């Protein structure tokens, strides 16, 4: 398969936990990375590899994977976490890369 | 500190060729792939392709086959992306991005600021 599928929109109450998922056959082989994008800004890497956060990313962001599904979890969502989130990974051939369609996160 | 600085916004006509530059600093240019990502207005991110600045190897998304050319000038630490036969659907923000690729993952830790391209007659 050459697709990564994300739910278009998710909402979470302030301070609660939210999980955003990314489904694709290539995720059985390759790790997903996750990016946060706010309006008018370039994306920011928040999770990569098994479950690694770049410097400066709060520890409320975590990643996990099971079978063909990768997940981004925000534990204790903050107002500033409201953004679009994208997953990316290699395709099943390993030669090309893919992005998921993106998930718009609303913090209520 | 790593920086990727892209060329400025462009307004161009259908059928022409676009060239965007991405000058890097703060790391060894030839150590990491340079990727290009397209984002149409109100839409998601789409991976366009990559170049290995070390040997010039490129890979492209299938939908762009024949229209995109990626090059890297190691004398100036600058990557270029050319997109030909432009059409209105190519109006988008284009990002260069780099990061680490291993056997099991490939992610983009550093991004350019984006270049807004408008294709209009």
- List the beta bridge partners of residue A87: A34
Supply B4's token pair.
């990727």
Q: Determine, for residues B106 and A98 on separate chains, whether the beta-carbon distance falls below 8 Å.
A: no
pLDDT at B66: 84
Q: Determine, for residues B95 and A49 on separate chains, whether the beta-carbon distance falls below 8 Å.
A: no
SS3 content of chain B, % helix, strand, coil (to 5): 5, 50, 45
Please check whether residue A74 is in contact with residue A34, taking contact to mean a CB–CB distance below 8 angstroms.
Answer: no
CA distance B50 to chain A (A): 9
Q: Residues A51-64: what's their mean pLDDT? A: 97
User: Helix, strand or coil for residue B59?
Assistant: strand
> Chunked in runs of 10, what are the mean pLDDT values of chain B (121 residues)?
97 96 97 97 97 96 91 98 96 96 92 98 92
Of B50, B107, B113, the CB nearest to A45: B107
pLDDT at B111: 98
Torsion of the alpha carbons at A87, B39, A12 and A23, rounded to the nearest 10: -30
- pLDDT, one tens digit per residue, over A58-85 is 999 999 999 999 999 999 999 999 999 9
Contact status of B27 with chain A (Cβ, < 8 Å): no
A88 contact residues in B (CB cutoff 8 A): 45, 47, 106-108
Q: Residues A16-42: what's their mean pLDDT? A: 97
Please check the confidence at residue A1 and state whether its pLDDT lies above 60: no
Distance CA A48, CA B106 (A): 8
Picking from B69, B58, B53, B56, the residue whose alpha carbon sits closest to that of residue B20 is B69
- pLDDT, one tens digit per residue, over B72-81 is 999 999 999 9
- pLDDT category, A57, cuts 50, 70, 90? very high
């Amino acid at each position: 398969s050459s697709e990564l599928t994300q739910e278009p929109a998710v909402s979470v109450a302030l301070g609660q936990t939210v999980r955003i998922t990314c489904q694709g056959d290539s995720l059985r082989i390759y790790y997903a990375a996750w990016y946060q994008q706010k309006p008018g800004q370039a994306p920011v890497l928040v999770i990569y590899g098994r479950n690694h956060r770049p410097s400066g990313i709060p520890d409320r962001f975590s990643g996990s994977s099971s079978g063909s599904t990768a997940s981004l979890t925000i534990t204790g969502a903050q107002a500033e976490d409201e953004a679009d989130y994208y997953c990316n990974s290699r395709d099943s051939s390993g030669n090309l890369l893919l992005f998921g369609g993106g998930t718009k996160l609303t913090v209520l | 500190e790593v920086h990727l600085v892209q060329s400025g916004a462009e307004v161009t006509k259908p059928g022409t060729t676009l060239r965007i530059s991405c000058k890097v600093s703060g790391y060894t240019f030839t150590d990491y792939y340079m990727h290009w990502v397209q984002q149409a207005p109100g839409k998601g991110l789409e991976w366009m392709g990559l170049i290995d600045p070390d040997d010039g190897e490129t890979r492209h998304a299938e939908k762009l086959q024949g229209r995109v050319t990626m090059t890297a000038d190691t004398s100036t630490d600058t990557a270029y992306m050319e997109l030909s036969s432009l059409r209105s659907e190519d109006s988008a923000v284009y990002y260069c991005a780099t990061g680490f690729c291993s056997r099991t993952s490939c992610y983009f830790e550093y991004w350019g600021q984006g270049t807004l391209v408008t294709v209009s007659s």
